[in-house]
Amino acid sequence: NAGVTQTPKFRILKIGQSMTLQCTQDMNHNYMYWYRQDPGMGLKLIYYSVGAGITDKGEVPNGYNVSRSTTEDFPLRLELAAPSQTSVYFCASSYSGEANQPQHFGDGTRLSIL
Amino acid sequence: LAKTTQPISMDSYEGQEVNITCSHNNIATNDYITWYQQFPSQGPRFIIQGYKTKVTNEVASLFIPADRKSSTLSLPRVSLSDTAVYYCLVDRGGAGTALIFGKGTTLSVSS
């Protein structure tokens, strides 16, 4: 099993450009999450999904959009990139939202907006 | 969510057992205790999770006393490749509930 796979690993964008961060998991997990991690800070939840076709906002959703057309894929879309979106983005998945179902993370996408 | 407190750093030598203790005084009845490991430029990797008493897997053991106000991650016979940051989390579950990663414990293993 590959687990959670994120692409690309690195990306540099210019202000105002758009891009999609890809995330796919092969564990048949129902729940998927997008976090961002700024230097020296903890993770902040951007969006999450409890199943295909269902998404909801986390604590920092502004400037981002998501879709969940399949169980495996949960792409994150940045529209009109801004310097404040420079961060490391982690995708995670879990079987359910229960506390005894831990989240499993990808290796992240390091994004710089210049 | 219950706040966790763990040492900022620990040093060890190869072959030793390492115990990292985490306090979580305000843990709630339904919360689970989860430990993650993170290497530079990688995502957090799930190590072990428990609710009470002792849990063991192929990587580590987790000891949780009856009052659940603390927990201890035990890594047997560490190697250089165990050098990483270890995070203790209290997981309440629930859709939309973000995991809270503190600063973690930086473990340095030397030969």
For residues B106 and B104, give the distance between their C-alpha atoms in angstroms, rounded to a whole number.
6
Task: Determine the pLDDT at residue A1.
Answer: 67
CB pairs under 8 A between A and B: 62
Task: Determine the pLDDT at residue B86.
Answer: 96
What pLDDT digit, counting tens, does each position of A44-82 carry? 899 999 999 999 999 899 999 999 999 999 999 998 999
The sign of the dihedral angle between the CA atoms of B17, B53, A27, A21 is negative
For residues A82 and A13, give the distance between their C-alpha atoms in angstroms, rounded to a whole number.
9
Q: Can you tell me the mean pLDDT for B74-79? A: 96
pLDDT grade for B50, boundaries at 50, 70 and 90: very high
Neighboring chain B residues of A47 at a CB cutoff of 8 Å? none
Question: Is residue A76 within 8 Å of residue A20, measured between CB atoms?
Answer: yes
Task: Determine the pLDDT at residue B1.
Answer: 65
Give me the residues paired with residue A91 across strands: A34
What pLDDT digit, counting tens, does each position of A1-56 carry? 689 999 999 999 999 999 999 999 999 999 999 999 988 778 889 999 999 999 99
Read out DSSP for B52-64?
A: SEEEE-SS-EEEE
Chain B residue with minimal CA distance to A89?
B43
Task: Determine the pLDDT at residue B76.
Answer: 94
Best probe of the A interface among B52, B99, B103, B106, by most A CBs < 10 A, is B99
The SS3 of residue A93 is: strand
Query: Is A59 close to B95, i.e. CB distance below 8 A?
Result: no
Task: Determine the pLDDT at residue A39.
Answer: 83
For residues B111 and B104, give the distance between their C-alpha atoms in angstroms, rounded to a whole number.
23
What pLDDT digit, counting tens, does each position of B4-46 carry? 999 999 999 999 999 999 999 999 998 999 999 999 888 999 9
Task: Determine the pLDDT at residue A63.
Answer: 95
What pLDDT digit, counting tens, does each position of B86-110 carry? 999 998 887 777 788 888 999 999 9
Residues in B 45-64 with any Cβ partner in A closer than 8 A: 45-46, 49, 51
C-alpha distances in Å from residue A111, one per residue of A10, A46, A48, A90: 6, 15, 20, 11
Query: Is B31 close to A105, i.e. CB distance below 8 A?
Result: no
